[in-house]
């Protein structure tokens, strides 16, 4: 007989508070959602319990529905490994002695507790089993929020907005590649800790370079159309599926969402697109620039505005005319610009991502600037009354959604608090240039007190160690292989094309 869910947090027949109830982790909305889920679990076979690691990758365990009844009350133990390994699974944080991060529970790679967020519970379509998906929040074993949790960082930023009776609104616009799998070995040869095996063998699905051509979309419609229906069945507010420039390069956009929902949606989106395409003999990748012939770079543009929770009004709006933004909106943009260099690592976190921030990619940002309706700048402002918003074009598609959004929303709020209005191009101050490499971005991030303020010292230190390890392995490979300058390397393709 299943143990019933108790909103008081007591386990039937035991009387001992659950982890969730003992530490008061849920509000009334989440308690109500948990009650609904518990009542519906008889119709579910398996539940995939998920969290987002610092790299932006979904890590999960799959449990029977009856086991999930207990997980829903008590959380689930997870290994600290995703906080310790870099993108190539090399140990970047020494957990055998002192990890040097300021989190004692990392010593010995001890477990942390992942508590499902009932508001993210989804039934996954087309899996062959009745499988659900739920994202969670990381906690230390004493019930305190885990200092290395990316989702926790975004929660803290949103709490700062709430204190000011404000709420960010976010729209997702993400580019990615659809390729056709060719079969071949699984890529395990030569793989190991810090050594990624061969990337999947693929071929392009069309020649590309006919932007938005209907015939190009038609060549991928047998995948993209049913994928669109799948995304909508997951409750994602899909706006468009478009064919971009590169061979099989697609852009997927969504209607505005609350910020936490948007970050959760981005994680769900990437994992489900990859799953859906692989089940149909294709491979989807959110790597910025794969090492494939004639491929163009992919970006992630984050559309953002701020609403008053008292009036629901868009605080960026300043009339119906073109090229207008309120002083609060202009101050928000100033915040994005003034912190762009030191926060760049959080939106462009890979070696490969900096391939895009180059002059040859004409619609990618190369300097810290803004303008109305101009796709060549970093921050494009789209004006028009209640729909006025800023589009930050700096991000790469595989970036951690929680850290990307937290960094940009934090920067924008700091700008609003300071009240310094971003001036027009001819009068604004000269900002430091965008980093042109992961190493340069890492230096700016490492030296940033603002990054410490945003993330806390433990997460900043952990991210620094992870990226130092990734960069050191790349530099060592380049020293040994001497690749042609400017070319996407085999190392990058192996490191990112499959995982991301």
pLDDT, tens digit, for every residue of 238-273?
999 999 999 999 999 999 999 999 999 999 999 999
Instruction: Give me the pLDDT at residue 428, please.
Output: 53
Above 60 in pLDDT, residue 196? yes
Residue 1, pLDDT above cutoff 50: no
The pLDDT, as a whole number, for residue 427 is 46
- Predicted confidence at residue 129, as pLDDT, reads 84
Residues 162 and 260: beta-carbon distance below 8 Å: no
* Contact assessment for residue 341 and residue 437, using Cβ atoms and an 8 Å cutoff: no
Q: Which two tokens stand for residue 346?
A: 């959080």
Confidence at residue 475, expressed as pLDDT on a 0 to 100 scale = 96
What pLDDT score was predicted for residue 425? Answer: 53
Contact 75, 30 (CB under 8 A): no
pLDDT for 19-76, tens place per residue? 999 999 999 999 999 999 999 999 999 999 999 999 999 999 999 999 999 999 999 9
- Nearest CA to 338 among 279, 270, 417? 417
**Residue found by looking up tokens 């995703």 in the block:** 82
136-143 average pLDDT score: 96
Q: Is the predicted pLDDT of residue 218 greater than 50, yes or no?
A: yes
The C-alpha atoms of residue 57 and residue 343 are separated, in whole angstroms, by 20
Tokens standing for residue 206: 């069309």
439 pLDDT more than 80: yes
Predicted pLDDT at 60: 96
Please provide the average confidence, as pLDDT, over all residues in the chain.
Answer: 92
Q: What's the mean pLDDT in 221-227?
A: 97
* CA–CA dist 469, 349 (Å, integer): 13
Strands 249-254 and 300-308: unpaired
Compute CA distances 249 → 53, 177, 300, 313, 490, whole Å.
Answer: 26, 5, 13, 36, 20
Q: Residues 315-338: what's their mean pLDDT?
A: 92
Model confidence at 102, in pLDDT bands (50, 70, 90)? Answer: confident
- pLDDT tier, 6 (very low <50, low <70, confident <90, very high otherwise): low
Q: Map the chain to HEC letters.
A: CCCCCCCCCECCCCCCECHHHHCCCCCHHHHHHHHHHHHHHHHCCEEEEEEECCCCCEEEEEEEHHHHHHHHHHCEEECCHHHHECCCCCECCCCCCCCCCCCHHHHHHCCEEEEECHHHCEECCCCCCCEEEEEEEEECCCCCECCCCHHHHHHHHHHHHHHCCEEEEEEEEEEEEEEEECCCCCCCCCCECCECCCCCCEEECCCCCCCCCHHHHHHHHHHHHHHHHHHHHCCCCEEEEEECCCCCEEEEEECCEEHHHHHHHHHHHHHHHHHHHHCCCEEEECCCCCCCCCCCCCCEEEEEEEEECCCCCECCCCCCCCCCCCHHHHHHHHHHHHCHHHHHHHHCCCCHHHHCCCCCCCCCCCCCCEEECCCCCCEEEECCHHHCEEEEEEECCCCCHHHHHHHHHHHHHHHHHHCCCCCCCCCCCCCCCCCCCHHHHHHHHHCCHHHHHHHCHHHHHHHHHHHHHHHHHHHHHHHHHCCCCCCCCHHHHHHHCCCC
| Token pair 């932006």 in the structure block, residue | 56
Report residue 424's pLDDT band, with 50, 70 and 90 as the boundaries.
Answer: low
Residues 366-399: tens digit of each pLDDT: 889 999 998 989 999 998 889 999 999 999 999 9
pTM above 0.75, yes or no: yes
pLDDT surpasses 90 at 337? yes
pLDDT at 110 over 90: no
pLDDT of residue 13: 38
N-terminal to C-terminal alpha carbon distance within the chain: 41
d(CA 167, CA 75): 29
Q: What is the pLDDT of residue 15?
A: 52
Between CA 349 and CA 376, with CA 373 as vertex, the angle to 5 degrees is: 45
């Amino acid at each position: 007989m299943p143990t019933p869910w108790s909103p008081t947090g007591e386990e039937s027949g035991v009387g001992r508070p659950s982890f969730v109830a003992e530490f008061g982790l849920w509000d009334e909305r989440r308690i109500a959602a948990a009650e609904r889920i518990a009542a519906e679990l008889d119709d579910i076979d398996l539940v995939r319990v998920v969290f987002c690691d610092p790299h932006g990758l979904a890590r999960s365990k799959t449990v029977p529905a009856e086991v999930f009844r207990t997980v829903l009350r008590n959380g689930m133990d997870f290994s600290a490994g995703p906080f310790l390994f870099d993108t190539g699974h090399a140990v970047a944080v020494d957990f055998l002695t002192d990890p040097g991060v300021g989190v004692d529970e990392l010593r010995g790679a001890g477990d942390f507790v992942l508590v499902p967020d009932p508001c993210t519970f989804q039934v996954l379509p087309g899996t062959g089993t009745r499988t659900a998906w739920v994202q969670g929040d990381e906690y230390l074993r004493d019930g305190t929020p885990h200092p290395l949790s990316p989702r926790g960082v975004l929660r803290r930023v949103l709490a700062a907005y709430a204190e000011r009776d404000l709420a960010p609104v976010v729209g997702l616009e993400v580019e990615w590649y659809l390729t056709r799998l060719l079969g071949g070995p699984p890529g395990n040869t030569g793989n190991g800790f810090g050594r990624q095996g061969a990337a999947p063998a693929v071929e392009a699905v069309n020649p590309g370079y006919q932007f938005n051509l209907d015939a190009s979309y038609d060549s991928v419609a047998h995948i993209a159309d049913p994928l669109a229906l799948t995304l909508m069945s997951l409750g994602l507010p899909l706006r468009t599926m478009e064919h971009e420039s590169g061979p099989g390069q697609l852009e997927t956009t969504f209607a505005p969402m609350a910020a936490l929902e948007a970050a959760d949606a981005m994680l769900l989106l990437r994992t489900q697109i990859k799953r859906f395409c692989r089940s149909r003999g294709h491979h989807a990748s959110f790597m910025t620039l794969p090492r494939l012939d004639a491929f163009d770079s992919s970006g992630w543009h984050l559309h953002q505005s701020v609403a008053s929770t008292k009036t629901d009004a868009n605080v960026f709006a300043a009339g119906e005319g073109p090229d207008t933004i309120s002083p609060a909106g202009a101050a928000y943009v100033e915040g994005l610009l003034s912190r762009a260099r030191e926060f760049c690592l959080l939106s462009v976190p890979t070696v490969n991502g900096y391939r895009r921030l180059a002059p040859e990619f004409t619609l990618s940002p190369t300097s810290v600037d803004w303008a109305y309706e101009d796709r060549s700048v970093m921050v494009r402002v789209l004006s028009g009354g209640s729909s006025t918003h800023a589009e930050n074009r700096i991000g790469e598609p595989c970036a951690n959604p929680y850290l990307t959004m937290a960094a940009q929303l934090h920067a924008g709020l700091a700008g609003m608090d300071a009240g310094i209005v971003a001036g027009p191009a001819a009068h604004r101050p000269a900002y430091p240039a965008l980093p042109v490499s992961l190493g340069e971005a890492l230096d700016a991030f490492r030296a940033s007190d603002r990054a410490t303020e945003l993330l806390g010292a433990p997460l900043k230190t952990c991210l620094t160690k992870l990226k130092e390890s990734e960069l050191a392995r790349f530099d060592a490979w380049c020293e040994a292989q001497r690749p042609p300058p400017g070319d996407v390397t085999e190392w990058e393709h192996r490191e990112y094309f499959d995982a991301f």
